[in-house]
Amino acid sequence: EPKTKYDRQLRIWGDQGQAALEKASICLLNCGPTGTEALKNLVLGGIGSVTVVDDSKVEPSDLGNNFLLDEGCLGHSRAKSICSFLQELNDAVKAKYVEESVATMIDTNPSFFSEFTVVIATQLPESSLLKLDGICGSANIVLVAARSYGLTGLVRVSIKEHCVIESKPDHFLDDLRLHNPWTELKQFAKSIDICDKDAVVHKHTPYIVILVRLAEKWADAHDGQLPSTRQEKREFKDLIRAHMLNVDEDNYKEAVESSYKVSLTPGISNEIRQIIDDSSSEVNFSSSDFWVLVSALKEFITNEGNGELPLEGTIPDMTSLTEYYVSLQKIYQAKAESDCLAMEHRVKSILKRIGRDPESISRAYIKTFCKNTRKLKVCRYRSMEEEFSSPALSEVQKYFADEDSCYAMNFYVLLRAVDRLAASYSRLPGIFDSIGSTSEIVEDVPRLKAAAVSVLSDMGLKGASLSEDLVTEVCRFAGAEIHPVAAFIGGVASQEVIKLVTKQFVPLNGTFIFN
């Protein structure tokens, strides 16, 4: 039973998120330990289907770093063996394999990738990754590149645009509108006497009511203005304390702690303003549902919203009489429902205007959007071609100069440099026909350094220097996929895939370097 099977994750991304996962189709390129770890996490999470592309046979070295392979797999297709073991982890997931060279597939059969939701490319050299990024970009397929290399690794997401409704930030202010209460909330607050001498009633009046009443009292005495300066906010807290009958009244303590919510600036944040002013909000027949909703939101703010976003409709726990709390809940829910209804009418009107079915966007989707309008995110990514051919020089220089991130930048450059060296010598640095001696590794150090200087020059960083120790270390890594590092990089990659497929939480924006 899926509800029981996926119980824990359903609490995080809900039924909608799980349904998105179960519809998703994932392609994994190269099923070494990094790719296998990523796929294992997705299969356990209930992804719809996986296709593994790898033409390798299982070798003894695979048994040392890939926990899904055993001695019985030696000499057999690595892709077939991995798929067989993945099916054992979750038989609800469809798993198939293609025994073909990844490089050949990219060069000769680009249309193969268009059937997938996400392509996870592991351990690909830069030249192949650039071609694949172009293919996925033109087909609007999400690409997640992952690579583990010795004791370092990277993960990079590539897609033109990714819009998130449920970004689920760790900390976010409750949407209580104490700075701008609507009529029904004001009326309810007025119906409660905050000077009631009944000790039980007084200490169980919700802090929302206390703040609405006292903010109104403050505004009456200050030409309609709410407290704004530090001194005024201090005085407003004193006004709240002056209404306490006893020192142990938790509701008044909550009111003091939340008093700053009265002074919040009305309107919408700069981040949300940027989204609603984006050119994509001028919608047409081919616009995504997200941008149709943003267009409706823009109209709502100007009209029914009076400069505000739709109300979320939930209130936090607080000290209160049950009847007061339930009444407050109903008032907030009714306002949220009213706002959602207004949004729904505007969405249908826009859909009709652009020649689409007015019922094509579900009420559930509109409701989710309305509950999360303060947390919308639009992530836009540069293509890998753009990143490599025209790097953001000021950003790169900033990271190189920063003590915390300069090592990550060193690894970023060196991971690109190993591909350049491999293109010239047909091998990664530190890999030799026989077991590499120290002297042979030492010979590769200046070669890798020269390749790194070439990368730095292309990035516009002529004269920048890299850590000599790290250059030597990367040569010593010899391209090894060490299982603990592969497990971590694969874990990060699968986490990003889940964010991208469920369209919940905010995916990585940039290249993640593991040190």
Structure tokens belonging to residue 400 = 């190189």
d(CA 258, CA 261): 6
Amino acid (one-letter) located at 297: L
d(CA 186, CA 231): 26
Same structural domain for residues 102 and 220?
A: no
Given 262, 278, 293, which residue is the final one in a domain?
262
Which residue from 303, 300, 306, 304 is spatially nearest to 281, judged by alpha carbons? 300
d(CA 285, CA 356): 6
d(CA 264, CA 179): 6
Q: Would you say 336 and 311 are in contact if contact means Cβ atoms under 8 Å apart?
A: yes
Kindly state whether residue 109 falls inside one of the protein's structural domains.
yes
Kindly state whether residue 386 falls inside one of the protein's structural domains.
no
Which residue from 459, 454, 489 is spatially nearest to 144, judged by alpha carbons? 489
Kindly state whether residue 178 falls inside one of the protein's structural domains.
no
Residue range 59-77, pLDDT digits in tens: 999 999 998 999 999 999 9
Mean pLDDT along residues 176-180? 94
The yes-or-no verdict on residue 24 having pLDDT over 80 is yes
Percentage of residues of the chain with pLDDT beyond 70: 98
Residue range 372-391, pLDDT digits in tens: 999 999 999 999 999 999 99
The yes-or-no verdict on residue 2 having pLDDT over 80 is no
Kindly state whether residue 135 falls inside one of the protein's structural domains.
yes
Same structural domain for residues 136 and 3?
A: yes
Same structural domain for residues 150 and 220?
A: no
d(CA 24, CA 281): 27
Residue range 225-238, pLDDT digits in tens: 999 999 999 999 99
The yes-or-no verdict on residue 463 having pLDDT over 90 is no
Same structural domain for residues 284 and 340?
A: yes
pLDDT band at 435 (very low <50, low <70, confident <90, very high): low
Same structural domain for residues 20 and 85?
A: yes
The yes-or-no verdict on residue 434 having pLDDT over 80 is no
Residue range 75-125, pLDDT digits in tens: 999 999 999 999 999 999 999 999 999 999 999 999 999 999 999 999 999
Enclosing domain of residue 436: 391-477
Q: What global pTM score does this model have? A: 0.91
Same structural domain for residues 111 and 124?
A: yes
Same structural domain for residues 5 and 136?
A: yes
Residue range 222-272, pLDDT digits in tens: 999 999 999 999 999 999 999 999 989 999 999 999 999 999 888 899 999
Helix (H, G, I), strand (E, B) or coil at 155: strand
Neighbouring residues of 286: CB distance < 8 A, sequence distance ≥ 6: none
Residue range 188-214, pLDDT digits in tens: 999 999 988 899 999 999 999 999 999
Kindly state whether residue 173 falls inside one of the protein's structural domains.
no
Determine the pLDDT at residue 117. 97
Given 241, 262, 283, which residue is the final one in a domain?
262
Residue range 7-21, pLDDT digits in tens: 889 999 999 999 999
Same structural domain for residues 288 and 416?
A: no
Mean pLDDT along residues 281-294? 97
Same structural domain for residues 150 and 223?
A: no
Same structural domain for residues 278 and 323?
A: yes
Kindly state whether residue 177 falls inside one of the protein's structural domains.
no
Please report the DSSP string for 100-124 in residue order. S-HHHHHHH-GGGGGG-SEEEEES-
Same structural domain for residues 232 and 277?
A: no
Which residue from 30, 143, 32, 26 is spatially nearest to 485, judged by alpha carbons? 32
Same structural domain for residues 302 and 344?
A: yes
Overall domain count for the chain? 4
Which residue from 157, 132, 162, 153 is spatially nearest to 144, judged by alpha carbons? 157
Mean pLDDT for all residues in the chain = 94
pLDDT band at 355 (very low <50, low <70, confident <90, very high): very high
When comparing pLDDT for 393 and 294, which is higher?
Answer: 294
Residue range 132-176, pLDDT digits in tens: 999 999 999 999 999 999 999 999 999 999 999 999 998 888 999
Q: What is the DSSP letter of 288?
A: -
Kindly state whether residue 176 falls inside one of the protein's structural domains.
no
Determine the pLDDT at residue 437. 55
pLDDT band at 58 (very low <50, low <70, confident <90, very high): very high
Determine the pLDDT at residue 280. 97
Given 226, 243, 262, which residue is the final one in a domain?
262
The yes-or-no verdict on residue 490 having pLDDT over 90 is yes
Kindly state whether residue 74 falls inside one of the protein's structural domains.
yes
